[in-house]
């Protein structure tokens, strides 16, 4: 088993293809172009076993406004484990490496979780954000994203404790905003 951390720019075409293929399989074919795009441009954690790439996750920088301050957010994306490699702790290894990056480099960690992923993140100390989730739209200003509320998890790094009585306003992106 080997774990590698690399920036998107340091991954060759074959490594990027292997990561995308793994994620396509891990999400049962429900991992589209915008999902892939959201995981690029930051740091990737890749775990290889004797069969090849077994697990992947990435962290990219986003911005979120909390009260009167814009925070640097390490947004966790594209976390997946190959089907035949599940239940061996690889997702936890990927998350441990991503959490170290978040804790050292960002004000806040955040991620959008599926029901299956939520168990992993909760067990690792990520907290479900119980406040409002919004985004700064390119044409409508700040818009509330009620469909994202209840699936965004946070990990305060340098920002300290955040009060969910105040909304988090994320930067906009194409595809699923969160």
Q: What pLDDT, on the 0 to 100 scale, is given for residue 116?
A: 79
Q: What pLDDT, on the 0 to 100 scale, is given for residue 139?
A: 95
Distance CA 120, CA 113 (A): 9
Q: Which stretches of 2-134 are DSSP H helices?
A: 13-26, 33-38, 90-105, 115-123
Q: What pLDDT, on the 0 to 100 scale, is given for residue 72?
A: 97
Residue with tokens 């293929």: 21
> What tokens were used for 28?
């049962």
Please write the tens of the pLDDT for every residue from 22-81.
999 999 999 999 999 999 999 999 999 999 999 999 999 999 999 999 999 999 999 999
Distance CA 158, CA 109 (A): 10
> What tokens were used for 170?
């994320």
Backbone angles phi, psi at 62, to 5 degrees: -130, 175
Rg (alpha carbons) of the chain, rounded to whole number: 16
Distance CA 61, CA 173 (A): 12
Q: What pLDDT, on the 0 to 100 scale, is given for residue 157?
A: 73
**Domains of the chain listed by start with CATH number:** 2-171 (3.40.630.30)
Q: Which stretches of 77-162 are DSSP H helices?
A: 90-105, 115-123
Please write the tens of the pLDDT for every residue from 95-139.
999 999 999 999 999 999 988 789 889 999 999 999 999 999 999
DSSP state, residue 122: H
Q: What pLDDT, on the 0 to 100 scale, is given for residue 126?
A: 95
Please write the tens of the pLDDT for every residue from 138-169.
999 999 999 999 999 999 877 678 999 999 99
């Amino acid at each position: 088993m080997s774990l590698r951390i690399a920036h998107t720019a340091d991954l060759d075409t074959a490594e990027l293809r292997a990561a995308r293929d793994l994620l396509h399989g891990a999400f049962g074919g429900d991992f589209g172009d915008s999902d892939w795009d959201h995981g690029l441009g930051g740091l990737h954690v890749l775990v290889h076993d004797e069969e090849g790439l077994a697990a992947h996750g990435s962290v990219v920088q986003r911005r979120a406004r909390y009260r009167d301050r814009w925070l640097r957010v390490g947004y966790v994306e594209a976390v997946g484990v190959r089907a035949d490699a599940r239940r061996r702790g690889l997702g936890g290894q990927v998350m441990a490496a991503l959490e170290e990056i978040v804790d050292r480099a960002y004000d806040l960690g955040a991620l959008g979780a599926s029901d299956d992923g939520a168990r992993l993140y909760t067990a690792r100390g990520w907290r479900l954000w119980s406040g409002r989730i919004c985004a700064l739209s390119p044409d409508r200003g700040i818009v509330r994203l009620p469909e994202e509320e209840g699936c965004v998890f946070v990990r305060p790094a340098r920002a300290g404790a955040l009060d969910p009585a105040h909304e988090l306003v994320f930067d906009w992106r194409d595809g699923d905003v969160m």
